[in-house]
């Protein structure tokens, strides 16, 4: 049996929020300096985001899912246009990441509320 390592995909809302934090801090190049993640690149990190969003689509809901995907596309364009982080576009891209974070935080809070209600019942 092959024991090939798996590609990490954020599987919960909480993990997606952590992923957005990584995108916020590592943008615009997403290059890892520890040397442990040589594959990290904009394509790789955005790929993980899209796959993670797809996994949690039922929790997020169709409308919010579409909104986040559109925002992610916009952020990607801005990061690509400012790889040196010196013309302000990467900064605009980070603002979009914060908007995505707000949407997922809303989902997270709803999720928590539902869980609490279930426990009380």
Partner 1 sequence: MRRETDEVVRGFLALNALLREELRDIRRLFAARASETKYNPNWRLQPRAPVGTPKGGQWINGGKQAQQRPAARPPQPPRPAPAPTPSRVPTHRPQIAPSRPGHIARPGPTPDTTSLPLRLFRVSPLTLALPLSGDTPRPTVTTRLVNGTIDLLLVEIDNHDGRGAHASFQRIVRPALRTPITILGQETLFRDTAPAELERLDVGVTISGGDVVFDPRDLASAYGRDLPGITTAETPVIAPQTAEEHLLAHNLRNLGADTWTINAAIQNLRNEQSDEALATALRRRGVSDANLRRIMDALRLARASHAPTILDLFPEIASARPGTIVNARQGGIQRSWGEVVESRYSTRALADGILLEIYSIDPNYAIEAPTDADLATPDTRSAYLNRLSAMRAAVHFREYGDVTLLQAETALFLQARVDQAYAEAERLYGARRLRVRLSRGEAVGNSMDRQVHRALPEFYANLGVDLGGQVRVNQREYNRSDETYRIPDARVGPTHIDWTIRRKGPRNKQIVGFFMSDSAPTLVLIFRPSQLGDNSSYAITRPRD
Choose one: 27-35, 57-65, 76-84, 106-114; the region binding partner 1 (CB under 8 A).
27-35
Question: CA torsion sign, 101 to 104 to 109 to 115?
Answer: negative
Does 10 sit near partner 1 (CB under 8 A)? yes
> Total binding residues for partner 1 by CB under 8 A?
28
Give residue for tokens 């279930």.
Answer: 118
Does 15 sit near partner 1 (CB under 8 A)? yes
Q: Tell me the C-alpha distance between 69 and 74, whole Å.
A: 9
Shortest reach from residue 75's CB to partner 1, in Å = 14
> Which two tokens mark 62?
């169709």
């Amino acid at each position: 049996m092959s024991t090939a390592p798996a590609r990490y995909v954020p599987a919960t809302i909480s993990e997606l929020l952590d992923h957005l934090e990584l995108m916020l801090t590592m943008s615009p190049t997403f290059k890892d300096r520890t040397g442990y993640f040589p594959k990290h690149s904009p394509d790789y990190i955005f790929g993980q985001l899209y796959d993670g969003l797809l996994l949690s689509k039922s929790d997020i809901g169709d409308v919010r899912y579409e909104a986040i995907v559109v925002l992610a596309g916009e952020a990607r364009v801005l990061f690509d246009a400012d790889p040196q982080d010196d013309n302000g576009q990467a900064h605009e891209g980070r603002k979009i990441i914060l908007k995505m974070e707000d949407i997922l935080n809303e989902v997270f809070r709803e999720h928590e509320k539902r869980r609490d209600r279930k426990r009380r019942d």
